[in-house]
Amino acid sequence: MNSRNILLSVFLFFLSYQAYSQTTDKPSEEPSKKKKTIVKGDNMFNFDINAGIDFPQADMAKRFGTSYRLGLGIRYKTTGNWLVGICGAFILGNRIKEDSLLINMKTSQGGVISQLGDVLNVGTFERGYMVGIQVGKIFPVLQMNKNSGLMTNFSAGFMQHKIKLFDKDNSFPQFRDSYYKGYDRLTNGGYIENFTGYTYYATNKLINVYAGLDIAWGFTQGRRDFLYDVARKDDRKRNDVLLGFKFGWIVPIYKKQTEETYY
């Protein structure tokens, strides 16, 4: 056998070996390989009703005791779990710490003499509200539900509070018309707020709630020209802080659910 035939034989051997290797070494596909679907965050509108208990701090603690908040909110949530919306809440309480309030009208028994000569007790309550805009984000901690997780939410807006004098039978002329303004301690101004807690969206979309710690800091100021009990103008700047716990119920309106499938 000459050298040309030897080279041709070797060349044909390598060609056949390469073809054999490509057909035998190719990994076979698994027809029943498992799929794993992970749900991303949903685009949705959130309508929530919330309630909370607050423990006043700083200047707020000098005027009021424990109070409560009832609120509403509307937020839009993106697939990246960013939140943006508006919020509002009523501030309610019945623990007043203003020692001088009505001091110039009270008897030794603590009541106030009505226009009919009766000694009656005057109810005093805390009333106020907060309205603002909010932005936040949910950080998922459950792999199969990207809507649920730790949430932090920041708000900013307008806060107002005052003391409500309850005169059921309209028995006290001192509390009528413009005279009322000399006792109610009307205060308002801007505020900032942070909520940090956990948000849960059920996979069946029926139970959607959140709960956590909330702190609101109001940069407020007294707004009355004259206070009758202390005989001065009320224009002092204040730091009104509410520290408490908030719980909310969410009504979501889903847009389109986004999924990613991994093999």
Query: 193 — alpha (psi -120 to 50), left (phi > 0) or beta?
Result: beta
In angstroms, the CA 196 to CA 211 distance is 8
In angstroms, the CA 118 to CA 116 distance is 6
In angstroms, the CA 38 to CA 31 distance is 21
Q: Are 102 and 112 in contact (CB under 8 A)?
A: yes
Cβ atoms within 10 Å of 29's Cβ, excluding its own = 6
Q: Going residue by residue through the chain, which has 263 residues, state the pLDDT in tens, using 9 for 90 and above.
A: 554 555 455 455 544 545 444 444 445 445 545 555 445 678 999 999 999 999 999 999 999 999 999 999 999 999 999 999 999 999 999 999 987 787 767 776 667 766 666 666 778 899 999 999 999 999 998 666 889 999 999 999 999 999 998 877 676 777 777 788 988 999 999 999 999 999 999 888 788 999 999 999 999 999 999 998 888 999 999 999 999 999 999 999 887 554 444 44
Residue 248 to residues 50, 191, 205: CA-CA distances in angstroms?
4, 21, 15
Sorted by where each begins, the domain ranges of the chain are: 40-262
In angstroms, the CA 54 to CA 214 distance is 8
* Alpha helix stretches (DSSP H) within the chain: 3-24, 59-63
Which CATH architecture group holds 40-262? Beta Barrel (2.40)
Strand partners, 239: 219
**Residue 20 token pair:** 């054999």
In angstroms, the CA 51 to CA 259 distance is 33
In angstroms, the CA 97 to CA 161 distance is 14
